[in-house]
Chain A
Amino acid sequence: MIPHDILTLYTAKAVEYIFALSFLFLFIPFWKYAMGEAHPALQPAMQPARQKIADRVPDLVEWFRLARDVAYHPGHAWARAAGDGRVTVGLDDFAQKLVGPMKAIELPPVGTRLAAGEPAWRLRVDGKAVDMISPVDGVVTEVNPAVLASTDVARHDPYGEGWLLKLDAPRFEANRRGLLTGKLARTWLEEATNALRLRMAPDLGLALQDGGMPVDGIAHALDEEHWDEVAREFLLS
């Protein structure tokens, strides 16, 4: 390291002070820039994690996500009250993993009257289709356009963005008594998982990732030919 001689030192120090002052001048506008928003009005409100969304947290029961704020039908559909007599329904994580990547989900149009225990919508995969049972009585008021556009959202976020229908369901409280929540739902899902696991005989060549996660389309892996029969067994349709 060559030490400065006194003459170049003056220049060097002058330059350094200029740089330091420039930095201080530029720092405040840069901070404002880095911390600001490009289009403040259009930004969706960000929810701090501390907010009470504990109920929205999907637990992981073995391989399947279980949302805590919905009520489950044994045929693997769920329902959530949206307030003022409206109910949101969808398919659960078990159902979408059982069936695998879907070509389409055929949803009933607005105005259709659904009955609890009766087929409500259809999951279409490669030419075959399986129905799912409606968890509640009601009239369809809204159909999720995102799901009609692509079934991926129903697969990645079945309890949130992947909702299927919104219904007018005045009898929801009564329907609710036939649905599973809390510990019961948990036990039910564990049993369903066990049933699946027992079907996966050791000598079955399942190509599992080292994630222990069954591939999408467990039904297909269990029985390629008759996967729809396996699916209907679990979906009760």
Chain B
Amino acid sequence: MRSAAHTLTAQSSWFNEKVLLGLTPKTYVRSLLTPGNLVAGLILAIGIPVIVYRFVYGLGAATNLTQETPWGIWIGFDMLCGVALAAGGFTLASTVYIFGLKDYHAIVRPAILTAFLGYLFAVLGLLCDLGRPWNLPIPMIYSFGTTSVMFEVGWCVMLYTTVLFLEFSPAALEWLGIGEKLRQMLVKATIGLTVAAVLLSTLHQSSLGALFLLAPTKIHPLWYSPFIPVYFYISAIAAGLSMVIVESALSHRAFQERVDHHVDMAPLTVGLARAASVVLFSYCFLKLQGIADGGHWALLLTPMGYWYLFEVLGFAAVPSLLFAHGARTRNVRLVRWTAAWTVLGVIVNRLNVSVVAMNWDLVPHYVPSWMEVMTSITLVTMGVLIFRWIVNRMPILRELPQYRNAH
């Protein structure tokens, strides 16, 4: 090959190679000037000062929370949805490592990364919501409110975030090319970590629902049920599967160059759709049982009842059928749109229980302030940016050749 006469002047320091993707600092910075990044930058430019404002001037100045409505979208969306949509981590990990369906191995790492960032996002949202977040270590270290479901949630989330970090760290070690012994230890511990992950997830996905058991007089009877923990757990599984479908679809579009092209996403997507279909089918019947147990048939004919029916039928029954149909006809596009709709449905459900059906008859009802909304958008944006940063550098969507058969 004819090569132009050149002298090797390209800097290739570790930092440039690993962090700047092999570019010089100036080129790298210039590469960041895309429209998407400008939007993200704008969001951060508004959102971060809003968050600072909240901490300087207090919750009253930044939120629309009241004495009757102490919980708003930072709990309802950031915390509850962040955790529910991160359920892909334990569902995919158990699929691959416990049920032994190795075909899904290619999407375990992105699922775990999504879960890890989802929990980080949930915890950051919680820190914004807590009145005295610096006291967070207290129930962890010396004052244990063991009668409280919140106590169990806190511990489980803390432990599970740690497990997720451990599950994610081999990818980081592979990227850095260091700590091979540690990496091998972590890979050996995969099955143990997965068991812990399923265990902890079962506990706190359901416990986040159990929190609302203490509000029987405040939540609309159609959403209040002694079975809320079971509903949250089962819908979290469906949410996790749907989120993995959505995330893999988006990643394979956005990160085409990073993807292992020998992995055919179609059969994996279809397989996940079949599982989600059965889970949602069962979920609908569980909801039915809940209504029977509460005897609230008459309430279905009220405005709130119509909204409840729309939530269950529209966001659970219909997706169940669409997933099954899409899987049967190998219609990957239909499956992906159904998954996105299901993700939306889980968000609607969590917001319903925590914000809409909570104090449903209170006038005026709580509406989030623009600063609350901005904070949530900012945290999501930060999560997406971190996701992209990691995927562009670390072996998440593809394997590094030297580790190909090492896990």
Contacts and interface: CB of A to CB of B under 8 A. Distances in A.
Query: In their complex, do chains A and B touch, with some C-beta pair under 8 Å?
Result: yes
Interface of A: 1, 4, 8, 11-12, 15-16, 19-20, 22-23, 27, 30-31, 33-39, 43, 46-50, 53-54, 56-60, 62-63, 65, 74, 156-157, 160, 188, 191-192, 194-195, 197-200, 202-213, 233-234, 236
B327 A34 contact: yes
B289 A200 contact: no
Given A20-B289, A35-B274, A194-B10, A210 B37 contact: yes
A203 B329 CA distance: 52
Contact of B23 (A35, A208, A236): A208
Contacts of B263: 49
Given A58-B261, A211-B257, A34 B324 contact: yes
Contacts of B327: 34-35
21 contacts: A1-B224, A4-B295, A23-B282, A30-B324, A36-B328, A46-B267, A48-B103, A49-B263, A58-B261, A160-B261, A188-B1, A192-B1, A194-B8, A197-B22, A208-B31, A209-B31, A210-B31, A210-B34, A211-B21, A212-B20, A236-B1
Nearest to B263: A49
B106 A49 contact: yes
Interface in B362-407: 388-389, 392, 398, 401, 404
Contact of A207 (B31, B103, B328, B404): B31
Contact of B292 (A15, A38, A47, A202): A15
B293 interface: yes
Contacts of B1: 74, 188, 191-192, 234, 236
Interface of B: 1-4, 6, 8-10, 20-24, 26-28, 30-34, 37, 102-103, 105-106, 216, 224, 226, 255-258, 260-264, 266-267, 274, 277-278, 281-282, 285, 288-289, 292-293, 295, 323-325, 327-330, 388-389, 392, 398, 401, 404
A116 to B, nearest CB: 16
A75 to B, nearest CB: 8
Contacts of A199: 4
A31 B8 CA distance: 62
Given A4-B295, A211-B21, A198 B10 contact: yes
A57 B260 contact: yes
B27 A236 contact: no
Nearest to A1: B216
Given A4-B295, A58-B261, A212 B22 contact: yes
Contacts of B8: 194, 198
